[in-house]
Amino acid sequence: MLGSTDIDEDTWDEIEAILIQADLGVDTTQHVLSELRKQGYRRTDDLQQGLRAVLAAMLETPPPMNISGRPLSIILVVGVNGSGKTTSIAKLANRLNNSGRKVILAAGDTFRAAAIEQLQAWGERINVPVIANQPGSDPASVVYDATEAAHARGKDILIVDTAGRLHTNYNLMGELAKMKAVSAKVVPDAPHEVLLVLDGTTGQNALQQAQKFREMVDVTGVIVTKLDSTAKGGMVFSIFNELKLPVQYIGLGEGMYDMVSFDPEIFVKSLFDEN
């Protein structure tokens, strides 16, 4: 797209290939191409600005999370192992803690002892209490114990980690449903947010995961991790275009403060600045 030449079918084929390689996926790529063609561009040097505009129009600033106006708000966090779920929970807890909220964590991934230990280590690091039971215990009982502890300790946000087994595992579906039911029994309308953590380096595979998790639980928002050096970022557009889910946060590195609120304008600008 560099330079200034007349646009022909080879130009459109080239743009299509670039978008597919950038992990936009076939459906989202076709949407982008359709929108660009409607503009009637004749020269390639007009296309980049047009592409920026089309991509920006596909994204939205996320709405405020539904975690205020009640004594205790519950956030359920779901995602497969390796997506950066537990680390994202710690970063989110740290952000909320630093903003004046009183946060407590629940180690609901009782399937893996390492997951419990990892969350406890993060809790110590960020000075946020973690409620945990023995490995293999009922995750729903952890949620119940954590809500009791939250009330007793005067906490106003409970963030619950969940098992990250393969999204085709039907035991996980029942487990999440039970955790959701227990939280709703203790706190009206809970969970108030269900955040899905997706690994930005897995591209369109992440979209398939998201669709599976939506069948199990009502996902309200997304955290996309690892959007620093290797991820292409195109799957973010598919999240909006195909899943109609808001991206609340993006992870840009391993550091505690490397998870930032999603800003569509900055995100689109960064894609073009890097390329």
* Topology at the third CATH level for domain 73-274: Rossmann fold (3.40.50)
The mean pLDDT value for 56-85 works out to 95
The mean pLDDT value for 247-253 works out to 94
Q: Is the pLDDT of residue 123 over 60?
A: yes
Q: Is the pLDDT of residue 167 over 80?
A: no
The pLDDT assigned to 270 comes to 83
The pLDDT assigned to 137 comes to 94
Helix (H, G, I), strand (E, B) or coil at 225: strand
The pLDDT assigned to 174 comes to 86
The mean pLDDT value for 44-55 works out to 89
pLDDT digits (tens, 9 = 90+) for 89-120: 999 999 999 999 999 999 999 988 899 999 99
Q: Is the pLDDT of residue 187 over 70?
A: yes
Name the residue type at position 110: T
Residue 182's contacts (CB-CB under 8 Å, 6 or more residues apart) are 140, 141, 143, 144
Confidence of residue 169 (pLDDT cuts 50, 70, 90): low
Q: Mutual orientation of helices 47-58 and 264-274 as an angle, nearest 10°? A: 140
Query: Which range scores top for mean pLDDT: 112-116, 169-173, 245-249?
Result: 245-249
Q: Is the pLDDT of residue 228 over 60?
A: yes
The pLDDT assigned to 107 comes to 98
48 vs 14, more confident:
14
Confidence of residue 44 (pLDDT cuts 50, 70, 90): confident
Rounded mean pLDDT of the chain? 91
Q: Is the pLDDT of residue 222 over 80?
A: yes
The pLDDT assigned to 209 comes to 87
Residue 71's contacts (CB-CB under 8 Å, 6 or more residues apart) are 151, 156
The pLDDT assigned to 274 comes to 57
CA distance 141 to 132: 10
23 vs 193, more confident:
193
The pLDDT assigned to 22 comes to 86
- Let me know: does 44 contact 5? Beta carbons within 8 Å: yes
Q: Which two tokens stand for residue 180?
A: 């959701």
The mean pLDDT value for 133-141 works out to 95
Task: Give 132-199 as a DSSP string.
Answer: ---TTS-HHHHHHHHHHHHHHHT-SEEEEE-----TT-HHHHHHHHHHHHHHHHHSTT--SEEEEEEE
